[in-house]
Amino acid sequence: MKHGKMLLMVGLSAWAAGAIVGCSGDDSTAPAPTGDAKGTLTGAITASRTLVKDTVYTISGFVKVQSGATLTIEPGTKLIGDTTVAGSSLWILRGAKIDAEGTAAEPIVLTSARAVGNRKPGDWGGLIIIGNGKINRTGATINTEGPEPENYAGGTNDDDNSGTLRYVRIEFAGFDISNGNGQELNSLSSYAVGRGTTYEYIQTMAGLDDSFEWWGGAVDGRYLVSYESGDDHFDWTEGYKGRNQFLIGLQTQRLVPAPGAGVFSSDPRGFEGDGCDPAVSGCTLTSTGASTPYSMPVFGNFTLVGPGQAVGVADGNGAVLRRGTGGTFINGILARWKGIAINVRDDWTDSFFVASGGKDSLQITNTLLAQNGFNFDTVGKDHAQTTNWNPTRLATIKQYAADVLVDTLLGFNLNPTGLNWSPKAGAPSNTGGGTAPAARVANYFGGSWQNTSYLGAAQSNGAQWWLGWTAYAIN
């Protein structure tokens, strides 16, 4: 059959397998693309299939790839969320895989079905991946957030493989059924996803809730971009211990969500990290202990720039660390956050600065802070984190006052028509880089963690790794 010319007739058995309805867009051996084919993904996908770039696929309803099946997506393929079915989303369930390997020239795009200029955050639900990694909540049933939940309890394999996302954009996603009370779909939701999974060159744009959120697991990532998040750019909880390097997050405003999709947070944050929320079942958080395994991620070479004094943003912080999270944060930039750049929210999290044997379980080093309301907590601002900040640690952090403009200081071009995260020659971020603890970054992408001499996601005259595959449109 020729693409775009003949409808694919499907029987009841194909519907039960989650049929792709429309043109024959799931045949990777098909003739040269015509560019006019259309197809629809719906229901449960029980058999492996391939989506090809000549076909625009509509994700309608809760599309769930079942255990044993692999969904392969060719470079340049476009998938659109059905705006007439609330929360339409693509799920990769435990035991299933996604093989979405785009290129810089032909990224894979998951976006709104609405025309350019009419798109909004929450037009569709987003991408949800569930693996077999470990979490620190206990219980036989622990459900994902949002509608039509799935159980992600009891994972045992932090090396589990849910597939590959490479050169992928996720736009105008998210869905909130709780009016801001923690039952949302995010742009990319990762539940217990293992380290055998690959996250590389992924952008989220104009999402309703968090851009990237991890619940436990150990999936690593690199070259991640979050643009105009509805809530937090990078969010983790429940024992997440993946490693991530080269990250960009930019927040300039609060967008208007799609009608009926939910509400935006009033305080979008660069990082929001939890050990485990004691308000949910299966978590422990006391003055002497927290749920294990601990949240212990690594984030290196991040550039997270907030909205400054933008109207409508209450008190966004650069990094909120709370509820017993540990972690390593190195060679980063936190700038233009209206609230606090580094906000260690509670005593238990603060205690991770001095773990047993004198070895830190929470390390924040070699980082530049500029144009923030406060660089650190102060009396009267949440938790006054003064006990465990020692002079050695503080000596690696470059601090600038709230009136030192980050674009002037570093030379960034923050105009969406020409975003450039390479600092100017002579910028203070070009020096001061540190070395990540070797044990925490061992075997990262086969052993390729880069200990850079610079701070942030890029250096002057260095590779502009975000070029060609990212986009910056808010409607």
Q: Residue 415, Cβ neighbours under 10 Å: how many?
A: 10
Integer Cα distance of 324 and 238 in angstroms = 10
Minimum mean pLDDT range among 206-210, 320-324, 379-383: 379-383
Q: Which residues of 7-39 are buried (b: 16+ CB within 10 A; e: fewer)?
A: ebeeeeeeeebbbbbbbbbbbeebeebeeebeb
| Range in 26-40, 162-176, 227-241, 275-289 with the lowest mean pLDDT | 26-40
Among residues 314, 311, 312, 304, the alpha carbon closest in space to that of 342 is found at 304
Both tokens assigned to 149:
């939940």
The pLDDT assigned to 388 comes to 56
> With bands split at pLDDT 50, 70 and 90, how would you rate the model's confidence at 286?
low
Q: Is the peptide bond before 307 cis (omega within 30 degrees of 0)?
A: no
The confidence band for 403, taking pLDDT boundaries of 50, 70 and 90, is very high
Q: What is the mean pLDDT of residues 54-74?
A: 98
pLDDT, tens only, 288-303? 667 889 999 999 999 9
The answer, yes or no, to whether residue 359 has pLDDT greater than 70, is no
pLDDT confidence of 177, banded at 50, 70, 90? confident
**pLDDT, tens only, 116-149:** 999 999 999 999 999 999 999 999 999 999 889 9
Check whether 30 has a pLDDT greater than 70. Answer: no
Look up residue 126 and give its two tokens: 């987003």
Q: Would you state the pLDDT for residue 169? A: 98
Dihedral (Cα; 23, 100, 271, 448), 10-degree rounding: -170
Structure confidence at residue 167 as a pLDDT band (50, 70, 90): very high
Buried b (16+ CB within 10 A) or exposed e, 117-140: eebbbbbbbbbbbbbbbbbbbeee
**Which of 46-55, 112-121, 144-153, 264-273 is least confident?**
264-273
Residue of 42 and 344 predicted with greater confidence: 42
Average pLDDT, the chain: 87
* pLDDT for the residue numbered 71: 98
pLDDT at 381 exceeding the cut of 60: no
The string of pLDDT tens digits covering residues 440-462 is 999 999 999 999 999 999 999 99
Name the pTM for this structure: 0.91
Q: What's the pLDDT score for residue 164?
A: 98
